[in-house]
Amino acid sequence: MRLGVRSTVDRLDAPSAYYHSRNNKRRRNDHGRDGKDGREGDTDMADAKPEEPPEDPLRNATTLYVGNLSFYTTEEQVYELFSKCGEIKRLVMGLDRYQKTPCGFCFVEYYTHQDALDCMKYIGGTKLDERIIRTDLDPGFEEGRQYGRGKSGGQVRDEYRDDFDEGRGGLGRAIQSERMRDSERNRERDTHHEDDYGLR
Amino acid sequence: MADYDRRQPGGGSGSGYNSRKRRYRDDDEYDRRPQRRRYDAPLPVRIRKQLLGLAESPLRRWHEEVQSIAQVIADGHDDQELQTSFLDLVPQMVLEQPLKIPFVAAVVLVVNSLKPEVLDPLLARIASATEDRAKEGEWRDVKLYLKFLACLQSCLEGSGLFPVLDELFNRAVDLQTASSEDTIGTELVKIILLTIPYILAAAPSAESEQKAAELMDKTDIIASEPHALQVLIDPYHTEKGTESPVANSSLIGLLQKQLQNEASNGWPLSCLPRPWRMPLEEIEQQEKLDNAQKHALPTISLPDKVTTGPRPLFPEIYYSVYIHQDVESVPPISNIASSVIRDALLDTINVLHFNRNVTARFLIDADCYFAPGTFIKRATPFDRLRDMDGDRSSWKPEDVAVDAVFSQLFQLPTPEHKLVYYHSVLTEACKIAPAAIAPSLGRAIRYCYQNTHRLDLELSYRFLDWFTHHLSNFGFMWKWTEWVEDVNLPDMHPCKSLILGALDKEIRLSFAQRIKGTLPEPYQALIGPEKEQDTPEFKFNNEHTPFSVEGKELAALLKRKAPDEEIQPVIDRIHSAALDQAIDPLVTSTDVFMTAVCWVGSKSLSHVLACIERTKDRLLDAGAASEAARAQIITAVMNYWSAHPGVAISIIEKLLNYSIVTPGAVIDWALVGDRAGPYGQALSKAWVFELVFHTVVKVTGRLRQVVKGGVTEGVQEEITAMRELFKTMDDALSSWAQGTKDQLMDPMASDGDEDLVKRWGERWLRVFRRRSVIEEAFLNENQAPA
C-alpha cells in the first residue's frame, strides 16, 4: 500500500540526479564518475522526458560512490565506518591516474541492496576523518573507474577548485600549476634584475 | 543569473555608482528589477503543504492553523482533487508524523463542524486501513490509527473507540492464557493503555471515565504481572544480590499505574495537547464543535489469527539515562507524561528512518507538540533547573529527546533499525542545536560510563561504539580530564576497559597521533609508539627470530607473486627444521607463512586480501589440516596486527568468508586459551568481544538467511553447528564465570583480579546465552517441522 506513494518527508536513500541525468543526456561510456561534486550547468537537461527505461540499474544497487574523502583517508578507516551498515564485500579506492595515490573518492560494495540504502541514510553526509563525505548509489564498479578523470590525473573537481583544501592537496591543480609558472617567470625576472645591479 | 545582471535602462547606469543597489535609488522610483514570476500553487498542493507543516512553528497559534486548513477543506468540498488528496494525506500523516496526530485530528474535528459529510469516507478509510495493518501484524500502525481515532472520539457515536479496545483486550487474554511467553498479547495491552489517555483528553466525560476504568480493571492482571521474558531483555546486568534499577519498569506495568494515578486525579493528562479546544475568543467555533454531528465508527474487526508481524515482539522496559538525578529533567516514571511522550518520540524516530534530519528536527522541536508548559524553555542549562519555582515544569525537552534515542540504542535484543541510524540521529540533533543537545549528551555519557559495570555487556559495547563514532563527528572533543583518575585502574576494571576500548576505536576512525593530540597528559601513555606506526614490523626481519631466513624468503616470493611451486620448498625446509627441533612443523610453517602474508599485505586491506586470495589454497589446506594450525593462522594475524586490532578483525572476517578459519576456531582462540590475553584478561578487552560477537552474528545471520530462504538441504547441519558453537562458548565462559578455569586456579596468576574475571565471565555468558535463546526462538517460529 505504501509502495509508490510519495512520503510526507523526503527520503535520503534516493540516488542523486547524477546518474540518471548523465545517462539520459549523452551515452558516453566513460570511466569514473567524479566531476559530480563540482558539476556545474549540468542539471538543466533533467526535464527532457526520456523513453521509459527498461529497468532502473540502481534498483538493486549494492555499490556506493563515496566522495569528498581526504587524500589521506585509508581503506581501514573506510572499513571501520562503513561496516556499521553491513559487511563490506569490496572496497575500491579512487586513485590518481598517474601517481596511483588516493585522490579522494572510493567505491564501497555491500552484499545487499538494503545495506547500501541504509548507508545512504545513515552515513552519507556524516563525517569520516573529519570531513563530511557524500554517498551516492552506483550501478556497480567496473575496471578503470577507480581513476580520476581530471586532466592532471585526480578528480575533475580538484582541477579548478579555488579554495585551499588541505585534505585534498591544497589549491586546485589548475591554479597550482598557474602559480608555479608565475613564480618561475618571476624568478627569471628577478635574476635578471639582480644581474643588472651586479649583485651576482 | 543573466536576468539579474541586466542593467536597468535609465536607472542611472552612468552615474558612477552601482544603480542596482536599492539604497542608491529614490523610494518612489519604479523598481524595474525582474521579479520572480508569481505562481500560485494549486489548492491541493497548498493544503498539503499546510497540513504537513502543522504545529511546526511555535510562533503560529494552533487553533488558527487548524481552523484555516479546515475552512479550505470544507469550502472546497466539491473539489474532487482536493478531497482525494486530503483523504490520502490524513492517514499517511498519521503513520509518518505521529507527533502531529492530535493536530490532524483537530483539523478533522473542525471540518466536521463545518461539513460533516467529509468525515464518513475518512473514517471508513482509517477503519479499513487499521484492519489491514492488524492483519499484517503491523502493530505500530494499528496503534497510530487508533490514537488518531481516539482524538476523534468526540465526534464518534455511542462509546466510540471503546468497543475496539475491548475487542483487542479479549484477544490479548486469549493469547496470554495460551502461553506465558506470548508477546503479542502484551503488545495489544500496550496499545490499549496508550490509546486510553488520548480518548480522555479528546472526550472527557463521566462515561469515558467509566469505560476507561472498566478496561483498566481488566488489563491490570496482564500489565502488573512481570513478563517471563523480562529478565532476558533487562538492560542492566547487576551483580548477584543487587536489584536491577529497572526491575519494576516494565512499560505496561508502569502505564497501568500511571493511568490509575491519572484516573484518581480526574484525568488531568496535562502534557497532552488539545488543539481542538478553542480559546475563549472563539466561543462560536467551540459551540459548533460541541454540537457537531456524530458519526458511527465503521467496524474494525481483528483477524482470526493475530501474527507478530515482520519484527519479533518483546516486552518493553522503560529505560532512562536521566532518571536518577537529584533534579527532575525528564518526567518521572510515576507520571503518565513519561510514557506518552516517549511513545510519540519513539514512533517518530523509528518511522522516519529514511530522513534522519527530519527526525532530529522533530526531536529538537518536541516541545511544539505537547501542551504548553510541559517543558522548560529549550536549552535551559541543567544547573538552572534547581532554581525553578515549585510549580513550573523542570523537564528539559532536549533531555527527553536524547533519552528516547538512548532507549533505542540500549534496546534489547535489538532496536528496530541498525544502531548506526540512532547514532546519526544524535549527530544531526547535535548539529542542529549544539548548545542545547551537547550538554544533555554529556550527562548521558557520564551516566553510561559510571554504570558501565552493571550494564549488559552487549550494551556496554554499543555505548562504546556510539560514543567513539559520535566523537569522530565532532573533532574527537571530549572532557577526558573528568576520568583522569581512572587511567591508573587495572586494565580489567570496567571503566578502564571502556577507556582503552574507546581510544582504540577512535584511532581506527582517525589515526594515533591525532587522537593523542586530544588527550590530557595521563592518557598519553595508553597510546604506545607501536600504535603510531602504520605498518608493523615484520618479526622475521630480525635475525634472531627463528626461521628469519625462511620468513624473509617467503615474503620476497609473495611479493613477486611467485607460483606455489617456488613456495613449497621453503615450507618443506621449515618443516624439516621444525621436526629437528621437535616442534609442530605445520604450526611453525603456518606462522611463518601467514605472518609473511600479513607483512606483504600490510599496505592496505586490499593488498592483504589480494594476497590471501592468491594463497588461499595453501591456507585452506593448512587450516583444514589441524586445529592447531587453524589457531595459528588467527594467532599470526592477531600478533602481527596487535597494535591495530581493528585491522586484524577485518582480516579474520575475510578468512572466515573463505572458510580458511572456522567460527569455532575463532571462539576457541578468543575464549579458551590464553591467546587473547593471560588469566582471563581477554574478557575485558573490547576488541575480543567485538571479534567474538561479529563471528557469532555471522553464523546466526547466515543461518537465518538460509532458513528464511526456505532451503532445507544442509540446514540441519548448520543448526547443529550453531548449537555446538553456543555450547562451546557456554562451557568456556561458565568456567571463567565460576572461577573453575585452570588459569584462575593457578595461585601464581591470580593477584586479586579473580573476582573481576569472574564478573567478566558472567557478563559475557549472559550476552551469548540470550543470543542463543533468541536464535532458538527464531528457529522455532520459522522452521517448518521436519
**In-domain check, residue B737:** yes
- Looking at residue A188, what is its pLDDT? 64
Residue B510 sits in the same domain as residue B544: no
Closest CB to A130: pick one of B132, B469, B475: B475
Determine whether the interchain pair B472/A127 forms a contact, defined as Cβ–Cβ distance below 8 Å: yes
Residue B482 sits in the same domain as residue B552: no
**In-domain check, residue B127:** yes
Distance CA B111, CA B122 (A): 11
The lowest-confidence range among B302-306, B577-581, B664-668 is B302-306
Q: Which whole number is the average pLDDT over B11-29?
A: 46
Determine whether the interchain pair B650/A127 forms a contact, defined as Cβ–Cβ distance below 8 Å: no
Q: Is the pLDDT of residue B754 over 60?
A: yes
- Looking at residue A132, what is its pLDDT? 97
The type of residue at B263 is A
Residue B660 contacts by C-beta under 8 Å, 6 or more apart in sequence? B612, B616, B619, B620, B623, B633
Residue B566 sits in the same domain as residue B479: no
Determine whether the interchain pair A93/B132 forms a contact, defined as Cβ–Cβ distance below 8 Å: no
Residue B127 sits in the same domain as residue B190: yes
Residues of A in contact with B417 (CB under 8 A): 118
Q: H/E/C letters for each residue in B349-402?
A: HHHCCCCHHHHHHHHHCHHHHCCCCCCCCCCCCHHHHHHCCCCCCCCCHHHHHH
Residues of B in contact with A7 (CB under 8 A): 92, 96, 354
Q: Which whole number is the average pLDDT over A47-73?
A: 80
Residues of A in contact with B419 (CB under 8 A): 84
The predicted-structure confidence for B439-475, as pLDDT tens digits, reads as follows 999 999 999 999 999 999 999 999 999 999 999 999 9
Q: Which whole number is the average pLDDT over B695-721?
A: 91
Nearest Cα of chain B lies from the Cα of A80 at a distance, in angstroms, of 6
The predicted-structure confidence for B468-499, as pLDDT tens digits, reads as follows 999 999 999 999 999 999 999 999 999 999 99
Nearest-by-CA chain B residue for A10: B355
- Looking at residue B776, what is its pLDDT? 93
Number of domains within chain B: 5
A99 in B contact zone (CB under 8 Å): no
- Residue at a domain's end among B173, B197, B230: B230
Q: Is the pLDDT of residue B404 over 80?
A: yes
Distance CA B402, CA B440 (A): 7
Determine whether the interchain pair B424/A126 forms a contact, defined as Cβ–Cβ distance below 8 Å: yes
- pLDDT band with cut points at 50, 70 and 90 for residue A46: very low
CB of B626 closer than 8 Å to CB of B601: no
CB atoms within 10 A of CB A45: 13
**In-domain check, residue B307:** no
- Mean pLDDT (chain B, rounded): 92
% chain B with pLDDT above 90: 82
A196 in B contact zone (CB under 8 Å): no
CB of A155 closer than 8 Å to CB of A35: yes
Q: Is the pLDDT of residue A37 over 60?
A: no
Nearest Cα of chain A lies from the Cα of B424 at a distance, in angstroms, of 6
- Looking at residue B749, what is its pLDDT? 53
The secondary element (H helix, E strand) that includes residue B409 is helix B397-409
Residue B474 sits in the same domain as residue B543: no
A44 in B contact zone (CB under 8 Å): no
Give burial (CB, 10 Å; 0-12/13-18/19+) of B630. buried
Distance CA B646, CA B504 (A): 8
**In-domain check, residue B183:** yes
**In-domain check, residue B236:** no
Residues of B in contact with A83 (CB under 8 A): 650
Number of separate helices (H) and strands (E) present in chain A: 5, 6
Nearest Cα of chain B lies from the Cα of A39 at a distance, in angstroms, of 17
Q: Is the pLDDT of residue A118 over 60?
A: yes
Residue B578 sits in the same domain as residue B475: no
A103 in B contact zone (CB under 8 Å): no
The predicted-structure confidence for B338-359, as pLDDT tens digits, reads as follows 999 999 999 999 999 999 999 9
User: Where are the alpha helices (H) located in B563-644, listed in sequence order?
Assistant: 564-580, 585-600, 605-625, 627-640
The secondary element (H helix, E strand) that includes residue B674 is none
Q: What is the CATH number of the domain that holds B571?
A: 1.25.40.180
Residue B588 sits in the same domain as residue B653: yes
Q: Is the pLDDT of residue A192 over 60?
A: no
Residues of B in contact with A9 (CB under 8 A): 96-97, 352, 354-355, 358
- pLDDT band with cut points at 50, 70 and 90 for residue A45: very low
- Looking at residue A4, what is its pLDDT? 64
The lowest-confidence range among A148-152, B6-10, B634-638 is B6-10
Residues 116-155 of A with CB under 8 A from B: 118, 121-123, 126-130
- Looking at residue B163, what is its pLDDT? 97
- Residue at a domain's end among B483, B501, B532: B532
CB of B611 closer than 8 Å to CB of B558: yes
Best mutation target among A111, A130, A133, A137 (most B Cβ atoms within 10 Å) is A130
Determine whether the interchain pair B353/A121 forms a contact, defined as Cβ–Cβ distance below 8 Å: yes
CB of B180 closer than 8 Å to CB of B228: yes
Determine whether the interchain pair A12/B357 forms a contact, defined as Cβ–Cβ distance below 8 Å: yes
Nearest Cα of chain A lies from the Cα of B121 at a distance, in angstroms, of 18
Question: Which residues form the domain of B712?
Answer: 696-785
Cell representation of residue B609: 586480501
Residues of A in contact with B134 (CB under 8 A): none
The predicted-structure confidence for B639-689, as pLDDT tens digits, reads as follows 999 999 999 999 999 999 999 999 999 999 999 877 877 778 899 999 999
**In-domain check, residue B255:** no
Best mutation target among A70, A77, A80 (most B Cβ atoms within 10 Å) is A80
Residue B522 sits in the same domain as residue B578: no
Residue B502 sits in the same domain as residue B547: no
**In-domain check, residue B298:** no
Nearest-by-CA chain A residue for B470: A127
Nearest Cα of chain B lies from the Cα of A190 at a distance, in angstroms, of 39
Determine whether the interchain pair B96/A80 forms a contact, defined as Cβ–Cβ distance below 8 Å: no
Closest CB to A76: pick one of B96, B358, B646: B646
Best mutation target among B126, B424, B607 (most A Cβ atoms within 10 Å) is B424
Best mutation target among A2, A72, A122 (most B Cβ atoms within 10 Å) is A122
The lowest-confidence range among B37-41, B329-333, B557-561, B568-572 is B37-41
CB of B386 closer than 8 Å to CB of B421: no
% chain A with pLDDT above 70: 73
Among B766, B243, B676, B763, residue whose Cα is nearest residue B453:
B763
Place of cell 493528562: B269
The predicted-structure confidence for B120-142, as pLDDT tens digits, reads as follows 999 999 999 999 999 999 999 99
Q: DSSP 3-state assignment of B142? A: helix
Best mutation target among A8, A74, A120, A135 (most B Cβ atoms within 10 Å) is A8
What ipTM does this complex have?
A: 0.92
Determine whether the interchain pair A5/B92 forms a contact, defined as Cβ–Cβ distance below 8 Å: yes
The predicted-structure confidence for B497-509, as pLDDT tens digits, reads as follows 999 999 999 999 9
Closest CB to B420: pick one of A75, A84, A130: A84
The predicted-structure confidence for B149-159, as pLDDT tens digits, reads as follows 999 999 999 99
A188 in B contact zone (CB under 8 Å): no
- Residue at a domain's end among B432, B451, B470: B451
B136 in A contact zone (CB under 8 Å): no
Q: DSSP 3-state assignment of A92? A: strand
Q: Is the pLDDT of residue A95 over 90?
A: yes
Cell representation of residue B208: 469515558
Give burial (CB, 10 Å; 0-12/13-18/19+) of B550. buried
Nearest Cα of chain B lies from the Cα of A125 at a distance, in angstroms, of 10
Residues of B in contact with A87 (CB under 8 A): 653, 698
**In-domain check, residue B197:** yes
Residue B197 sits in the same domain as residue B171: yes
Q: Is the pLDDT of residue B741 over 80?
A: no
Residue B634 sits in the same domain as residue B620: yes
Determine whether the interchain pair B475/A10 forms a contact, defined as Cβ–Cβ distance below 8 Å: no
B705 in A contact zone (CB under 8 Å): no
- pLDDT band with cut points at 50, 70 and 90 for residue B19: very low
Residues of A in contact with B354 (CB under 8 A): 7, 9, 11-13, 121
- Looking at residue B355, what is its pLDDT? 97
Residue B424 sits in the same domain as residue B328: yes
B708 in A contact zone (CB under 8 Å): no
DSSP line for B248-290: T-BHHHHHHHHHHHHHHTT---TTS--TTSPPGGGHHHHHHHH
Q: Is the pLDDT of residue A32 over 80?
A: no
A114 in B contact zone (CB under 8 Å): no
- What's phi and psi for A103, nearest 5 deg? -125, 25
Distance CA B531, CA B523 (A): 14
B418 in A contact zone (CB under 8 Å): yes
CB of B781 closer than 8 Å to CB of B311: no
